[in-house]
Each structure stands twice: as structure tokens, then as C-alpha cells.
């Protein structure tokens, strides 16, 4: 319980407060102690010097203010004062004295841990700086519970700081903290790390608000307990738009790897201004590197997709299986995606009206950037430039991209119709192909993990057409289909040649009109299909597995952020 006491100022000849007499239960004590104000200032400077450069002084009890003035004079800032003694302050006038100095922050919350937390939050924001507690011996006697609680709060922060302050990348095998949300690639990452023998801890980032207090506390606890070398996420999932978690990782010095398997521009729009020196972005699209650097990310790398050979294993076709077909296509019709994207531009009718025609031109254009294409397009450019904000501009880019993808995808599938294709996709295909006549079949979308590895080997030819959000990159199918023994006919992509021997390991069409003749050729030449598939599979097993990709990522993170 706090003590009842009286505080009386004792003045020096010059009129300054030289001491405060404390009368507690009939006993007299003195605030100044031996050596007075000069000794108080000297003790504070000595404590701060011992704590080291960059520490934040925390006074547990203001005393005569000489210590506060000394550390401020030495350049320390901010300075926290945990003190709730109104009687002593009335005698010293310290709050009024330091009222004009924003670097001196008095904390008198009823909860002592809350008062200590204000200092701890500031230290954390300063890169997890060390707190330097300077405890005045008179104060714990006046209110033992409050000042003991405040001191314990500071000690708790310091213990956490020491737990988080370990050196990274010192062991031969790295330790990875995975920031997990339900999405493609997390299973592959965890399986690959397991096969590589790399220790990892998965932290479920949930589905709700990110950056909330519970998430922050869980992240700090995981880092303190597991001591990872870096954190890993996919598409920045698990991070919050306000940057609280990105800032926290930067504060504790934990590097972050973010592997983008969708357009970085379409994703990073939500995280503008969150580039930190400790973040490295990996993209499946080599063309994204320049734009990622423009957004302030100093560390970027190309990391293509791959296959999980533990899941996509070689299989023979199953006689009489309902999925058997000469040719097949797996993919969305893009009807709803394109329509929804165009609907978001309904408030800009001129742009919405011009976009479908522009999308056809974008599909045929060598320009890879939807942003640059729209800005230069005669019909769309003025309306695009006049859009109010980044959100509207991004909607326009998405509408262009999805509509262009829809047009190309429908043209490619049309090339399969003479061969009675099996299409695994959404119900909108029934409308798209309503006039195609009999022969073709549709089944519902397949589960990537449980069904596609069985589906691909049932077709003599699997058609692949890549989304136009990745005009130069390759998608998952060029790895998955050959890995499980299937033959894939894929569209020409600039980055494909860096991954395969085009013509020797994969069959490529340059435009939708070529698909029919190529399908007819490969159906008539099964030995050639088998040769290409075998060569592609050999290359995939040697170079394009997720084990290889994760090993590349691990080495890149150590090179960028290791000692």
C-alpha cells in the first residue's frame, strides 16, 4: 500500500530546491541523500554510460531532477520518468520545469506495468534499444507495490531484448519462422524444409486483423523461443498494411523473406511504403525485380516456381478412368474475374467502355506492364491518368489484365475443340462453349494437392496457357505436368528458355492459332511426347524442385543478412 507522507521543499541560498524532507509515519527522511543534487546527476550519467550508447534512461522516481537534467544535457532522448508522487512534485516543480522538453516523458499510469510499457514501446521502436533503469531509493519505500511493478516491467522488457538479441546465421543449418496463412505454396515450403532438414516453426497468422496486439505478442514469443535466422512469408501474407509487423521485424533485427507467386505490383499496392532494409523480395517473375526496387526494396531476387516431387510423382494412365482424354485443359474461364474487375470501374464509364478493346491489344502487345500500356493507350490513357487514387489505377490494371487473359484463354481452348477436350474448370465454360457442339466435356475444378497429380497423366496432351499478369514468367503447370509423367503443350514465355531447353525438353506454341496443328502432331507421335516429357522430367528433378528453390532462398538470405 502507498504510504501517507508529507513533502516539504528545502531551499538553497540561491532559492533552488536543494532537498525535500519526507515525513512518513512520524519519521523524517530526505530525498537528496548523501551528496545532494550533484551526486544524483553523477549517478545517472554513470548508469547511462554503463548501459551503452543508444540506451533510453528510465528514472524510477524523479528525485530532485538533477539526474534527468544531466542525461538530457548529455544528449540522451527520450527520457522516461516513472513517478506518481504528486506531493513530491508539488515541492520540486519538476513536471512544470520539464514541460517544454518533449523528450522528457512522465508516466504515472495506475497500472505500473502500463507505465513501464510506454518506455518499452519507445525502446522497441528505436530498434529494441536497451532501457537503462535509474531507481531512486526513496520511492520504493513510499509505494512498494507500484514501483516494484514498474521496475519488474522494465526488467521483463530487458529479458526479452536479450532473448531477441542473438546473432543470426551462425549455424550451418538455418532456422526459419514461417508466417503462415491459408494459401498456395506453404505446404510445399514446409515439405521442402523438412526434406532439407532445416528447422522451422510455423506461426499461424490467422484470418483477422494483422498487427493486433495478440499477433505481436505471439510473434515476439515465437522469436524468443525458436531463435530463427529469418521469417518467411508468401505474397506478404500475415503482414499488416500499416506496417506494424514489418516495423517490428526491423526493430528486432529479424530479416524477412517474402516470396511472390502472384504479381508483386498487384500485392504490394496494399503495403505501400513498408520497405525495410531487412526485407528481401523473391518473385516468380524475373521482370518484377526493377519495379520492386522502385518501391524501395534493396534486396530482390528471381525465384521461379517449381514442383513438389513428393506429391507430383510419376504415374501411368489408368485404363477406363473417367478423366482419360486425348487433350485436356485445367483452368478458370476468367469470366467472373474479368467481369468483376470491369464492374469496379463503373464509375469511370469512358475507361470501362474502352478497356475490352484495349485488352485485346494488350494481349498482342510486347509491353509487359499493364500500367505502362494503359498510360500510353490512346483511348484509355487520358481516363487512366485522371483517376483519383492508386486504388482506382490498380483496378484498371487488373481489369485490363484479367480481360486480356480471358480473351487469350478462350482462344487457346477453342483450338482444342476438334479433339474433344476435357476441361476442368468453372461452370462459366458451359456458356463460353455453348455453341461448340458435342464432344468436349467439363468437370468441376480439381483440388491442386489431391487430384491434379492423378489428373495430368490421364491426358495425352495437357494444354497450358499463362495468365497475362506474368507475360514473361512461367506458371506451375510447366513443372507439375512432366513431373508426374504427363505431356504439356505450353505457350511461349521469355523466361522459359532460362529453365528448359525449348524444343528439346518442352513443346511450345507461339499463338493460339498454332495449337490445333501442334496437338494433332503430338497426338500422332507418342514417342516424341514421351521423349520430351522424359527430358523435361529429368531437368525438373535436377533443377526445378522446391527443395532446390528453398536452398536458393536460404543461401540468398544468408548472403544478404549474415555476418
User: How confident is the model over 316-352, as pLDDT tens digits?
Assistant: 999 999 999 999 999 999 999 999 999 999 999 999 9
Average pLDDT (35-51) is 94
Whether 211 has a pLDDT exceeding 60, the answer reads no
Multiple choice CATH, 176-306+549-561, 3.30.360.10, 3.40.190.170, 3.30.2320.50, 3.40.50.10090? 3.40.50.10090
What is the pLDDT at residue 262?
Answer: 86
Residues 245-273: tens digit of each pLDDT = 888 898 888 999 999 998 887 777 767 66
- Supply the pLDDT for residue 117: 92
**What pLDDT digit, counting tens, does each position of 97-115 carry?**
999 999 999 999 999 999 9
What pLDDT band is residue 353 in, cutting at 50, 70 and 90? very high
User: Which residues have a Cβ under 8 Å from the Cβ of 506 and sit 6 or more positions away?
Assistant: 478, 482, 488, 490, 496, 500, 532, 536
pLDDT for 151 equals 95
Q: Burial level of 39, CB count in 10 A (0-12/13-18/19+)? A: middle
The pLDDT value given to residue 210: 52
According to the model, what pLDDT value does residue 391 have? Answer: 85
| Alpha-carbon gap, residue 66 to 119, rounded angstroms | 20
What pLDDT score does 1 carry?
Answer: 66
Tens-digit pLDDT profile for residues 52-86: 888 999 999 999 999 999 999 999 999 999 999 99
Assign 475 to helix, strand or coil.
coil
Which of 16, 11, 6, 7 minimizes the C-alpha distance to 97?
A: 16
**pLDDT tens profile 490-527:** 999 999 999 999 999 999 999 999 999 999 999 999 99
Q: Quote the mean pLDDT of the chain.
A: 93
State the Cα–Cα distance between residues 401 and 147, nearest whole angstrom: 61
What is d(CA 305, CA 481) in angstroms, rounded to the nearest whole number? 13
3-state DSSP assignment of residue 133: strand
DSSP letters, 358-403, are: HHHHHHHSS---HHHHHHH-TTTHHHHHT-SSHHHHHHHHHHHHHH
pLDDT range class, residue 127, cuts 50, 70, 90: confident
Predicted pLDDT of residue 207: 64
pLDDT of residue 244: 82
Q: Is the pLDDT of residue 200 over 90?
A: yes
Report the alpha-carbon distance of residue 122 to residue 84 in Å, rounded.
20
Protein fold of 325-544 = Rossmann fold (3.40.50)
Specify the pLDDT at position 212. Answer: 67
Q: In which band, very low, low, confident or very high, does the pLDDT at 149 lie, cut at 50, 70 and 90? A: very high
Q: Is residue 283 within a helix (H) or strand (E), and if so which, with residue range?
A: strand 279-283
How far is Cα 157 from Cα 56, in angstroms, rounded to an integer? 12
Cell 486425348 maps to which residue? 326
Residue 336 half-sphere exposure toward CB, CA atoms < 13 A:
7
Would you say residue 295 has pLDDT above 90? no
pLDDT confidence band for 558 (50 / 70 / 90): very high
Which residue carries 519538476 as its cell? 94
Amino acid at each position: 500500500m502507498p504510504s501517507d507522507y508529507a513533502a516539504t521543499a528545502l531551499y538553497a541560498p540561491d532559492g533552488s530546491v536543494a532537498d525535500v524532507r519526507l515525513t512518513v509515519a512520524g519519521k523524517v527522511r530526505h530525498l537528496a541523500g548523501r551528496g545532494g543534487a550533484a551526486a544524483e546527476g553523477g549517478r545517472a550519467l554513470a548508469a547511462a554510460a554503463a548501459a551503452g550508447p543508444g540506451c533510453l534512461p528510465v528514472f524510477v522516481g524523479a528525485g530532485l531532477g538533477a539526474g534527468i537534467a544531466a542525461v538530457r544535457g548529455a544528449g540522451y532522448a527520450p527520457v522516461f520518468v516513472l513517478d506518481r508522487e504528486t506531493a513530491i512534485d508539488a515541492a520540486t516543480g519538476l513536471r512544470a520545469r520539464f514541460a517544454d522538453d518533449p523528450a522528457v516523458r512522465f508516466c504515472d499510469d495506475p497500472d505500473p506495468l502500463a507505465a513501464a510499457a510506454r518506455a518499452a514501446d519507445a525502446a522497441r521502436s528505436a530498434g529494441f534499444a536497451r532501457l537503462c533503469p535509474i531507481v531512486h531509493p526513496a520511492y520504493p519505500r513510499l509505494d512498494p507495490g507500484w514501483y516494484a511493478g514498474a521496475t519488474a516491467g522494465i526488467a521483463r522488457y530487458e529479458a526479452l531484448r536479450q532473448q531477441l538479441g542473438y546473432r543470426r546465421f551462425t549455424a550451418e543449418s538455418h532456422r526459419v519462422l514461417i508466417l503462415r496463412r491459408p494459401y498456395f505454396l506453404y505446404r510445399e515450403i514446409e515439405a521442402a524444409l523438412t526434406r532439407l532438414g532445416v528447422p522451422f516453426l510455423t506461426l499461424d497468422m490467422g484470418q483477422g486483423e494483422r498487427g493486433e496486439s495478440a499477433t505481436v505478442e505471439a510473434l515476439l514469443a515465437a522469436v524468443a523461443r525458436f531463435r530463427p535466422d529469418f521469417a518467411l512469408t508468401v505474397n506478404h501474407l500475415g503482414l499488416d498494411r500499416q506496417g506494424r509487423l514489418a516495423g517490428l521485424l526491423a526493430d528486432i533485427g529479424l530479416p524477412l523473406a517474402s516470396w511472390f507467386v502472384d504479381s508483386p505490383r498487384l500485392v504490394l499496392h496494399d503495403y505501400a511504403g513498408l520497405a525495410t532494409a531487412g526485407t528481401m523480395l523473391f518473385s516468380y517473375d524475373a521482370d518484377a525485380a526493377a519495379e520492386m526496387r522502385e518501391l524501395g526494396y534493396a534486396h530482390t531476387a528471381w525465384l521461379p516456381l517449381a514442383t513438389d516431387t513428393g506429391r507430383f510423382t510419376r504415374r501411368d494412365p489408368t485404363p477406363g478412368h473417367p478423366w482419360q482424354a486425348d487433350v485436356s485443359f485445367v483452368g478458370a474461364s476468367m469470366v467472373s474475374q474479368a467481369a468483376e474487375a470491369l464492374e469496379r470501374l463503373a464509375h469511370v464509364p469512358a475507361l470501362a467502355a474502352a478497356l475490352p478493346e484495349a485488352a485485346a491489344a494488350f494481349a498482342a502487345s510486347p509491353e509487359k506492364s499493364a500500367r505502362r500500356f494503359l498510360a500510353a493507350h490512346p483511348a484509355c490513357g487520358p481516363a487512366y491518368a485522371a483517376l483519383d487514387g492508386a486504388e482506382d489505377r490498380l483496378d484498371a490494371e487488373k481489369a485490363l489484365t484479367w480481360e486480356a487473359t480471358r480473351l487469350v484463354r478462350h482462344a487457346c481452348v477453342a483450338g482444342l475443340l476438334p479433339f474433344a477436350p476435357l476441361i476442368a474448370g468453372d461452370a462459366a465454360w458451359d456458356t463460353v462453349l455453348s455453341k461448340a457442339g458435342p464432344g468436349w466435356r467439363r468437370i468441376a475444378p480439381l483440388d491442386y494437392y489431391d487430384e491434379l497429380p492423378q489428373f495430368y497423366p490421364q491426358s495425352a496432351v495437357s494444354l497450358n496457357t499463362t495468365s497475362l499478369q506474368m507475360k514473361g514468367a512461367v506458371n506451375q503447370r510447366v513443372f507439375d505436368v512432366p513431373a508426374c509423367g504427363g505431356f504439356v503443350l505450353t505457350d511461349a514465355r521469355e523466361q522459359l528458355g532460362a529453365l528448359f531447353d525449348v524444343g528439346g525438353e518442352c513443346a511450345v506454341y507461339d499463338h493460339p492459332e498454332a495449337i490445333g496443328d501442334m496437338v494433332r502432331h503430338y497426338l500422332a507421335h507418342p514417342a516424341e511426347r514421351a521423349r520430351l516429357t522424359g527430358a523435361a522430367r529429368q531437368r525438373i528433378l535436377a533443377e526445378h524442385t522446391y527443395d532446390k528453390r528453398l536452398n536458393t532462398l536460404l543461401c540468398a538470405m544468408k548472403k544478404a543478412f549474415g555476418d
